[in-house]
């Protein structure tokens, strides 16, 4: 026990010293990011997982679908960043769309998207950093990770890695939309991964038009089950002068032919800071 405790302290001291070094010497940050990414992908090569990479012609049946607006005109920032985001989404979507997750395989967003800007560079897009909306290279790809995570929740795929946003900057567009179903990513640090523990291959499809970004999960046979995501125990509370949202994310399984309710599973509890003024009392 003592050894484990000391190891934990050493790890925390290392994290603090590393943070201070990059803060005191900002020019070290690109080197740190390069080192982190190299180490990250090297570990993936030897972790024993089979990562999905094969792109195939579209499967015939739809298991899940999602749609979101491409342009957000209410960020308060230059609208050009929204157009840049669309450009970035297109590049990343091209390497992810039509990829098949076979039984026993693991899907990793960064394993596929790490070279999406090789032939055509990303542009600066908006990203939340330290509680502020800032422009960064390749920003805006959280719309891709959010879309994929929402789709994955509507499948029997096993969530292996998902990271919530630290701050929820805007309320849900509709009160009917479930809370706590976002996923943030940061290359070398934060990934979105799922594993196919089922007996059926599942394919990702991503497209866009002038207004919307679309995602689908496709399968080879007509689905026997479909899934619905709902919330329970939504509450808001204050802690250290900040407001937080806590909610249980629930998946309901439905018979695809009859619509009959089959079962309900509690997936996780999502807790995040609220970055906007609530219109409802705590």
pLDDT in tens, 75-93: 667 889 899 999 999 999 9
pLDDT at position 160 is: 97
Residue 78 tokens read as 């230059």
pLDDT at 73 over 50: yes
Angle, nearest 10°, between helix axes 80-96 and 142-153? 50
Q: How confident is the model at residue 189 (pLDDT cuts 50, 70, 90)?
A: very high
Residue the block writes with tokens 């590393």: 18
Sort residue 278 into left (φ over 0), alpha (ψ -120 to 50) or beta: beta
Instruction: List the beta strands (DSSP E) in 39-168.
Output: 61-69, 100-101, 106-108, 124-129, 132-137, 158-161, 167-168
Q: Are 219 and 202 in contact (CB under 8 A)?
A: yes
pTM to 2 decimal places: 0.87
Task: Report the percentage of the chain scoring pLDDT > 90.
Answer: 70
pLDDT at 5 over 60: no
φ, ψ of residue 90 to 5 degrees: the values are -60, -45
- Name the DSSP letter for residue 60: S
Instruction: List the beta strands (DSSP E) in 17-60.
Output: none
pLDDT at 11 over 60: no
Q: How far is CA 282 from the centre of its chain?
A: 28
């Amino acid at each position: 026990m003592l050894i484990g405790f000391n190891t934990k302290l050493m790890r925390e001291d290392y994290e603090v010293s590393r943070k201070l070094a990059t803060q005191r010497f900002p020019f070290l940050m690109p080197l740190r990011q390069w080192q982190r990414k190299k180490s990250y992908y090297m570990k993936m090569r030897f972790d024993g997982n089979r990562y999905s990479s094969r792109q195939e012609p579209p499967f015939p049946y739809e298991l899940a679908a999602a749609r979101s607006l491409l342009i957000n005109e209410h960020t308060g920032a230059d609208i050009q960043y929204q157009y840049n985001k669309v450009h970035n989404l297109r590049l990343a979507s091209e390497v992810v769309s039509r990829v098949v997750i076979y039984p026993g395989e693991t899907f990793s967003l960064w394993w596929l998207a790490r070279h999406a800007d090789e032939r055509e560079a990303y542009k600066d897009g908006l990203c939340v950093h330290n509680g502020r909306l800032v422009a960064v290279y390749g920003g805006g790809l959280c719309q891709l990770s959010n879309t994929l995570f929402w789709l994955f929740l509507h499948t029997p795929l096993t969530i292996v890695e998902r990271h919530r946003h630290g701050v929820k900057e805007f309320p849900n567009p509709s009160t009917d939309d479930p809370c706590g179903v976002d996923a943030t990513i940061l290359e070398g640090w934060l990934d979105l991964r799922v594993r196919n523990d089922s007996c059926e291959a599942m394919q990702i499809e991503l497209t866009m038009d002038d207004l919307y970004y679309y995602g689908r999960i496709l399968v080879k046979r007509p689905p026997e089950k479909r899934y619905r995501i709902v919330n329970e125990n939504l509450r808001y509370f204050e802690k250290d002068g900040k407001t937080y949202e806590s909610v249980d994310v629930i998946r309901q399984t439905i018979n695809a032919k009859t619509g009959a309710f089959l079962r309900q599973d509690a997936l996780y509890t999502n807790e995040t800071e609220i970055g906007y003024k609530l219109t409802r009392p705590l």
